């Protein structure tokens, strides 16, 4: 397995990068990705160490099942401090602390431990997710510039920069292509509130006969990276927050995926879909019909 601390993700050739009108010095993008990478590795090491020492639940959020651990909070504090020391004029938008604005026009969108329930139970599918976007922390309007998703349990480091491609360690990623819908391996997730999970289960029940099978990994960031790496063919989920998908969506896009919602909608809380564009075009109408069929119960 590639050592993530020595993986070849340093950007030195950005000749194919286009449409970065506000980052005229391309070394800025290199610096942003390297900062995200080093911060994710440092934060991941802390989260992994705290997991080995034993996990302490700090609180619950939207429901008793929606927990936050002391490690979530400690890891976000570390990430926030490292980013602020390196770039004090940037904004910050994380899951576990108050958002702050900046003067640079850039915002860091952070999930310190995506997949907290997996982390709580010792399931090795959790990740540090760090993205830097141009604009406010709104997926409908931002432009993602660089993103990193790091799974410290498996030592897998996913990276991407706008226009430069996506990588797992030093391996360039490409989504699976030319996959018929009935042979597509789909991934999805479930919310924490019982009513939403029941509605999501109805959608899965309606979809299961149209695809190869369905997986539920428990981390949206890793689901999106799995599409990028060809471990899933398509991923969809409703109810995600910006920090859940900011980095993973960029990584999927840079591996060739289309990422969005229904129709021409951008990805957001109402829906995230990620797949090779051909499969997306076949999958989206099927999902849209299921959403329409179960609209009365949608939450």
- Residues labelled catalytic: 95, 111, 113-114, 116, 244
Q: What are phi and psi of 51, to 5 degrees?
A: -65, -40
d(CA 260, CA 147): 17
Q: Answer yes or no: are the C-beta atoms of 128 and 79 closer than 8 Å.
A: yes
Q: What are phi and psi of 39, to 5 degrees?
A: -65, -40
Nearby residues of 32 by Cβ (< 8 Å), 6 or more positions away: 106, 132, 145, 146, 161
d(CA 156, CA 154): 5
Q: Answer yes or no: are the C-beta atoms of 37 and 164 closer than 8 Å.
A: no
The three-state secondary structure class of 112 is strand
Q: Answer yes or no: are the C-beta atoms of 162 and 142 closer than 8 Å.
A: no
The token pair at 76 is: 């976000």
d(CA 143, CA 283): 25
The token pair at 98 is: 């108050």
């Amino acid at each position: 397995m590639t050592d993530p601390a020595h993986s070849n993700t340093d950007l030195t050739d950005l000749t194919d990068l286009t449409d970065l009108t506000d980052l005229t010095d391309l070394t800025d993008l290199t610096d942003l990705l390297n900062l995200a990478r080093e911060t994710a590795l440092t934060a991941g090491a802390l989260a992994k160490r705290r997991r080995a020492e034993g996990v302490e639940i700090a609180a619950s959020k939207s429901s008793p099942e929606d927990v936050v651990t002391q490690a979530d909070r400690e890891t976000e504090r570390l990430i926030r401090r490292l980013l602020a020391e390196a770039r004090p004029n940037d904004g910050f938008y994380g899951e576990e602390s108050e958002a702050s604005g900046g003067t640079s026009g850039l915002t860091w969108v952070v999930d310190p431990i995506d997949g907290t329930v997996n982390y709580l139970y010792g399931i090795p599918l959790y990740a540090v997710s760090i993205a830097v976007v141009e604009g406010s922390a709104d997926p409908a309007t931002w432009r993602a510039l660089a993103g990193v998703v790091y799974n410290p349990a498996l030592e897998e480091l996913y990276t991407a920069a706008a226009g430069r491609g996506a990588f797992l360690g030093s391996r360039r990623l490409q989504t699976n292509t030319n996959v018929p819908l009935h042979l597509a391996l789909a991934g999805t997730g479930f919310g924490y509130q019982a009513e939403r999970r029941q509605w999501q289960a109805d959608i899965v029940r309606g979809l299961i006969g149209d695809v190869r099978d369905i997986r539920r990994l428990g981390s949206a960031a890793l689901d999106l990276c799995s599409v990028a790496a060809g471990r899933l063919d398509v991923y969809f989920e409703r109810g995600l927050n910006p920090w859940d998908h900011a980095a993973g969506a960029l990584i999927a896009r840079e591996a060739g995926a289309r990422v969005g919602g229904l129709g021409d909608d951008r990805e957001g809380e109402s829906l995230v879909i990620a797949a090779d564009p051909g499969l997306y075009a076949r999958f989206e109408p099927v999902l849209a019909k299921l959403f329409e069929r179960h609209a009365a119960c949608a939450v």
